[in-house]
Structure 1
Amino acid sequence: MKKSIVWMASYPKSGNTWARIFLANYIANAREPVPINNAHIVAMGDSITKTYRMVAGGPLDVTNIDQTLQLRPRVLRGIVANNADINLVKTHNARVTARGVPLIPDNVTRSAVYILRNPLDMVLSYARHYGMTPEEAVSTVSHPDNANPPDEETVTQFMGSWSEHVRSWTGKSAYPVLVLRYEDMLAEPRACFARLVQHLGMPLDVERLDRAILFSSFKELSEQEKKQGFVEKSEQSERFFAKGQKDQWKTDLPARLVKKMKHAHRKVMTKFGYLE
């Protein structure tokens, strides 16, 4: 069994989709942007209910968390069974063991890309995406048992708090993990996306790189979403691609919630340059 999975990992609303759409454009190397609803072809999800049903070979109750967890090793073995050198897999799961099942097992993993975002901005986007108030979102992303409940589209995703999630992916690892900050991707897209391309072992072509960055710009993505919608948009949110800026928390997140977030996540925020 080949260790071919390269995890595209992040806490929700941290830039994972942006990175995958960039990769779709870089890999396609076309003269027109890849449609955003086709971007999933470069990185499958690890929690797609349909995949678990296929592996189960029979009825699957997605609310039975133990059953879906027991199926997970078979789902991941199915991904690597194509014998490819690299299988890009998107995940919002923390790198932890859930009820005795390792969610990100070493035996199928080649490497990982971990994208993190200032949690003060992430929590605002999280609130919009999941139809929460900012206060509810602050409480949710600070809770050690935070998980996305199962539905007909996805099985349960185990995230934990933002700090725990970041620690799980950026700590000691048996394989290479490329850590990218969302804010650096905004400020220095050439440097950051070049690192991503090289991490995956692809040849770096500057003209191709610049075109893929242009084709995955927030202006391009939001215009595509207006015209054709986006399959990853939640029913609770008006749109998936909002402003895509940093430091929105300074005007949009109430001071008392800023204080709560900093209290809950101070150590990790400081480590990654979000607090001095």
Structure 2
Amino acid sequence: MSKTPKKTSAKTTRPAQPTPKASIVWLASYPKSGNTWTRIFLANYLMNTREPVSINQVHRFGMGDSIAKTYRMVAKDEAADLEDVNVTLRLRDRVLRGIIGNGADVNLVKTHNIRSAAYGTDLIPAKYTRSSVYIMRNPLDMVLSYARHYGITAAEAIDVIGRSDNANASDTSTVWQFLGSWSEHVNSWTADAPYPSLVLRYEDMLNKPERAFGALVQHLGVPLDPERLQRAIRFSSFDEAKGQEAKAGFAENPGKNKTFFTSGKAGGWKDELSDDLVAKLRTEHHDTMKRFGYL
């Protein structure tokens, strides 16, 4: 007597999801520390044209990680109230996965976020990261540009950059950015990382441009050509950027100041900051300033 075979249920095996390529090269900085200048240089070096690249095309060579439009795109049909910090953080991983989803070996991504976590969300995930470039500037100069950029006084700016809870709230163009204090930001990005990192000082970019920008090119794994390097440095000069802005404006200017490119010099704080404000900033950021040669 034959037995009736037992019914078997077929299991559907889903194909394994491909491991995302760690392709992000973070172009990181505290606001007003030289990030835009760095991206203008890269645009000119990578394009390698005989005329300066328009400053309004710079976004093509380093997209931001906090662009509100991108967050709305990945939200799809979800209610995306980007003023809600929890919504921004919930969508962030999808935004970053979208960036690396093109399969490119390198994706340059501008960020002002601290290399840390915000409310339990890792802002700079190592699993998506190829390397990082950190641009820093003497906070005595940076704070003056920061004050102009945000439409506040130098005294207010010094207070703000000394706060661990310093963050830029969402607006029509960007989502929440978590900065922390200047010292916390610098120390987070210059600490040991599980991927290659390069630290550039704004002052070295001014005084030793061939060495500083040459190191940047090599860090990205792009062939270094001296003539091309010199031309890109010239095409990304402060005078060139300021001249372009005067003729055609600058799309990344938030509008709180008439011009984005106001002063590209180092040492302006000596004429603009009072002794008590200098002392306050040096006291609050003493260890980090000393570590990087700013005292």
Q: Offset of 1:152 from its aligned partner?
A: 1.1
Give the corresponding residue for 2:46: 27
Aligned-pair distance for 1:60? Answer: 1.4
Give the AA of the match of 1:271.
Answer: R
Residue number in structure 2 paired with 1:217:
237
Matches of 2:248 and 2:255 in 1, distance apart? 15
- Residue from 223, 231, 235 that aligns with 2:255: 235
Structure 1, unaligned runs of 5 or more? none
Aligned to 1:67: 87
Higher radius of gyration, 1 or 2? 2
8 Å contact 1:62–1:152 — kept in the other structure? Answer: no
| Corresponding residue of 1:111 | 131
Structure 2 residue aligned with 1:97: 117
1:85-123 per-position Cα deviation (integer Å, ceiling 9, x unaligned): 000000000001001100000110000000000000000
Q: Which moved more, 1:234-243 or 1:179-188?
A: 234-243
Instruction: Give the Cα separation in 2 of the matches to 1:230 and 1:131.
Output: 18
RMSD: 0.6
CA–CA separation in structure 2 for the residues paired with 1:236 and 1:260: 26
SS at match of 2:243: helix
Q: Secondary structure of the equivalent of 1:184? A: helix
Task: Give CA deviations for 1:57-80 in whole Å, capped at 9, x if unaligned.
Answer: 033111111011011011001110
1:203-236 CA distances to partner (integer Å, 9 max, x unpaired)? 0011111100000001100000000010111221
Q: Which residue of 2 aligns with 1:4?
A: 23
In structure 1, how many angstroms separate the alpha carbons of the residues matched to 2:255 and 2:44?
27
User: How far 1:253 moved relative to its partner?
Assistant: 0.8
Distance 2:157 2:263 in 1: 19
The residue aligned with 2:196 is 176
More displaced, 214-223 or 58-67? 58-67
Q: How does 1:1-276 map to 2 (within 5 A)?
A: 1-58=20-77, 59-275=79-295
SS of structure 2 residue aligned to 1:244: coil
Residues of 2 paired with 1:43 and 1:115: CA distance? 14
How many residues align? The count is 275
* Alpha-carbon shift at residue 247 of structure 1 (Å): 0.6
Question: Where in structure 2 are there 5+ consecutive unaligned residues?
Answer: 1-19
Q: Report the Cα distance in structure 2 between the residues aligned to 1:50 and 1:234, rounded to whole angstroms.
A: 16
Q: Percent identity?
A: 60
CA–CA separation in structure 1 for the residues paired with 2:263 and 2:71: 34
- Specify the SS of the correspondent of 2:265: coil
- The residue type paired with residue 208 of structure 2 is E
| Aligned amino acid, residue 145 of structure 1 | D
Please tell me whether the aligned partners of residues 13 and 122 of structure 1 are also in contact (alpha carbons under 8 angstroms).
Answer: yes
The corresponding residue for 2:4 is: none
Q: TM-score, normalised by structure 1?
A: 0.99
- Cα separation, 2, equivalents of 1:141 and 1:268: 13
Matched residue SS, 1:240: coil
Cα separation, 2, equivalents of 1:274 and 1:72: 34
